[in-house]
Structure 1
Amino acid sequence: MNKDALRRLVEERWTALEAERTTGERRLRVSQLPVDGDQGPLVVGVDHGGHRHLLVPVTSHRKIRPGLDGPVLLLRKRALEDEDSYQTYADLACLRDDLSDLFTELCVDVLEAATGLPENPLKALYRVLDRWKALFQTQEAPLGPEQLAGLFGELILLNRLLERDSSAHRVWRGPEGHRHDFSTGGTAVEVKASTASEGRRPQIHGLDQLEAPDGGELFLLWLRLQRTTVSGSGAGVVELVNRMLRLCDDEGALLELLAQVGYRPADADRYHDARFVIGEEQWYCVGPGFPGLTNAALVAAGVPISIMDVEYTIDLSGETPEPMAPGEVSRVMNGLIQESA
């Protein structure tokens, strides 16, 4: 079915539903569409207030992306039940009747995308929402060499987590301004990457970056990176991003996180030469005896905390603190996945 046919179809279905008698405030008048996903057909609906809806069927345990909560569009999880069936949906609603024509175009784009991705129509929905959102995004300055190295380090860990769980991008908290790069509340990991050829001297930002979560554990991943060429060995930033988008179950949420650190797919051509080889990788448990300047240490020493914007460098080049064993590293990554479920 082409785009014009889809547009006529959804308009006809919405018009017919609007002509029906209204029901309870929490009820929807719905009509199935001839566009199928892995959990059944997509559905259009009209609620008690006359607002139009597009519903994408999902499994009951599927999480729906937060953040789209009006005043124009509302995206939430909704269950529809009748005498014979019970189905959970991602429910996209337009709360502005004067924008119904634009909502129709958005929904037609979703239906067209879902036709090409029947195994994951929710992913198709997110893709379309993100494309429309991109119309209003402004251009920003490209990432510099140090920023690219830091991003590469975080993407290395995120890829490993996504291999274990397609929802693991939810524990990547650094882009949102969290004090730790990865955190579940009980387990946190700070990633430090450097292109220096000698030493292990990560820079620490703030008095709380090396403080573990309350009642939890903090770990530090140190990576020594060597810049290489496009035709050389190693991995590229763009390659890691593309791989993550294939692995994750919510491309849009991941793209939003990337945008918050300054990376946008539209700028990918700028970063094709950004490739690195991992020359050294060490993991550390940030516990007693680990070097660092923290709020807790200052309080314990009786020093008043009246300073801000603290940055300092620690030296991990010696034999102490001792790096973690591979088995312990695996435990940490499994803990991040399990705690985020």
Structure 2
Amino acid sequence: MSTDSWRDLLDERWAELEAEPVTAERRLRVTDLSIGTDDGALMAAVDYEGHRHLLVPMKSRQQLRRGPDGPVLKLRKRPLEDETSYRTYADLSCLERNLNDLFATLCSDVLDTAEQLPANPVKALYRAMDRWKSLFRVQGAPLSGERITGLFGELLVLVAMLERDPSAHRLWLGPSGHRHDFCSPHGAVEVKSSTYTEGRRARIHGLDQLEAPEGGPLHLVWFRLAASASGTSLPELVDRALELCDDETSLRGLLSHVGYQPADVERYAEARFVATEQRWYPVGKDFPRLTGRELEQAGVPVTVEDVAYTVDLTGPSLAPLSEEAVTEVLDALLREPA
């Protein structure tokens, strides 16, 4: 169906709902829009104040990104229950009736996009909304070789998490300056990558990078990356992450924070890597590290800044986790807060 046809359908359904008796406060009059998705059907709705809504089905455990919150548009997570079902929706509403025409055009774009993405209707909502925004970012210098390999390793972990949870990019806090690359209420992960063919060394920045968070354990994952014509390029890895996540714009913003810009894609496309080693280590009391907390416990005053040091990961006491244990770590990070 064309965007104009969706617009006509929306206008018709909203008009029908507006002609019905006014519902009680906090209740909606709803109607099916005949667009089926894996999570249910999209709905048009009108509230007791006469404001128009578009309801996009979503999974109950799925997180909704922070969106517009008035005075014109509002995006919120809303559960709806009737005699036979209980469903959760992303509720996009217009709070200004004089802008109903513009809202209908936006919603018709959402419907057209959702028809093409039935497996992920919330992603369709985000994509359509983002087309209505202009994003202006300052173009910085391209990433250096060291920063490319560092980002490549972080994206390998991110993709593994997104394969389990399409909202997992919200745990990628490194781009915002957090001391750990990934962090949740249940633990944290620090990622290190190397292209050296010998040794296993990780460069640590700061006295707090290997301090575990309050909510759980810290793990360090170390990748050995080898250049290979049959490997994966950085842009291909980025595309995979964007494909898996439910909020492309948020992820693009994180990538921009680390200096990855679409304008430099061709520059990055030539370098291809294969992860020949992937080793996960629990950062516990026996892990070689230097932290501010340990210095204070030893009675050493911490009066230095900008500390950087190298950890040798080849010691016999540093046994990496098994694949099963790594799976448990990822599952724990993604677990819902209690």
- TM-score, normalized by length of structure 1? 0.84
Deviation by residue 1:47-71 (Cα, 9 ceiling, x = unmatched): 2333321101234x24132211413
| Structure 1 residues 33 and 281, CA gap change in structure 2 (3 angstroms) | closer
Contact 1:46 1:52 in 2 (8 A): yes
Q: Which residue of 1 aligns with 2:266?
A: 269
2:308 is equivalent to residue 312 of structure 1: yes
| Structure 1 residues 109 and 201, CA gap change in structure 2 (3 angstroms) | same
Deviation by residue 1:262-297 (Cα, 9 ceiling, x = unmatched): 335565334212322334433322222433231211
Q: Which residue of 1 aligns with 2:91?
A: 91
Q: Structure 2 stretches of 5 or more lacking a match?
A: none
Q: Which residue of 2 aligns with 1:185?
A: 185
Q: Which residue of 2 aligns with 1:298?
A: 295
Deviation by residue 1:16-75 (Cα, 9 ceiling, x = unmatched): 43455433331223232232323443212222333321101234x241322114134322
Structure 1 range deviating more: 255-264 or 29-38: 255-264
Q: Which residue of 1 aligns with 2:244?
A: 247
CA RMSD of aligned residues (A): 2.9
Does the residue aligned with 1:7 lie in a helix, a strand or coil?
Answer: helix
Deviation by residue 1:148-185 (Cα, 9 ceiling, x = unmatched): 21110011122233344444434333234332112223
Does the residue aligned with 1:132 lie in a helix, a strand or coil?
Answer: coil
Q: Which residue of 1 aligns with 2:195?
A: 195
Structure 1 range deviating more: 212-221 or 12-21: 12-21
The alpha-carbon deviation at position 199 of structure 1 amounts to 4.1
Query: Distance between the aligned counterparts of 2:266 and 2:245, measured in 1?
Result: 22
Residue type matched to 1:235 in 2? Answer: T
Does the residue aligned with 1:124 lie in a helix, a strand or coil?
Answer: helix
Contact 2:139 2:261 in 1 (8 A): no
Residue type matched to 1:112 in 2? Answer: D
Contact 1:150 1:193 in 2 (8 A): yes
Query: Distance between the aligned counterparts of 1:215 and 1:198, measured in 2?
Result: 35
- TM-score, normalized by length of structure 2? 0.85
Q: Which residue of 2 aligns with 1:152?
A: 152
Query: Distance between the aligned counterparts of 1:214 and 1:314, measured in 2?
Result: 24
The alpha-carbon deviation at position 300 of structure 1 amounts to 0.9
Contact 1:148 1:274 in 2 (8 A): no
| Structure 1 residues 196 and 119, CA gap change in structure 2 (3 angstroms) | closer
| Structure 1 residues 115 and 140, CA gap change in structure 2 (3 angstroms) | same
Does the residue aligned with 1:70 lie in a helix, a strand or coil?
Answer: coil
Q: Which residue of 1 aligns with 2:5?
A: 5
Tell me the matched-pair count. 335
Q: Which residue of 2 aligns with 1:108?
A: 108
Does the residue aligned with 2:155 lie in a helix, a strand or coil?
Answer: helix
Query: Distance between the aligned counterparts of 1:112 and 1:250, measured in 2?
Result: 18
| Structure 1 residues 167 and 105, CA gap change in structure 2 (3 angstroms) | same
Query: Distance between the aligned counterparts of 2:85 and 2:236, measured in 1?
Result: 43
Q: Which residue of 1 aligns with 2:14?
A: 14
Contact 1:299 1:305 in 2 (8 A): yes
Contact 1:168 1:340 in 2 (8 A): no
Residue type matched to 1:329 in 2? Answer: V
